[in-house]
Amino acid sequence: MVDDRETRRRVQALEQLEERIRELEKTIRRLTGELTKAGEAQAFEKAHQVSWQLAKAQSKLDQLMEEWEKLAA
């Protein structure tokens, strides 16, 4: 009984984590597109801002992936 509850909690935590990862991946794709457009337009300030956002999102994604790996093990 306790194992079943623990398993359900773990599965639910993994599902929530996977959803957060999917959302972050979408954000990274969007930011990558914005960065490309800013670069093409030579909008260097915009490119700098977007690259900062992109770096923060990638760092968060890396953290979530590490968390996912620990939970999935």
Cα separation, 40 vs 50, in Å, equals 13
**pLDDT attached to residue 73:** 84
Going residue by residue through the chain (73 aa), what tens digit of pLDDT does each one get? 668 898 899 999 999 999 999 999 999 999 999 999 999 999 999 999 999 999 999 999 999 999 999 988 8
**pLDDT attached to residue 2:** 64
Cα separation, 19 vs 60, in Å, equals 14
Q: Domain spans of the chain?
A: 2-72
Copy the structure tokens of residue 67: 């968390």
pTM: 0.86
46's CB contacts (< 8 A; 6+ apart) are 34, 38
Copy the structure tokens of residue 53: 């956002």
The answer as to CATH 1.10.760 being correct for domain 2-72 is no
- Amino acid at site 4: D
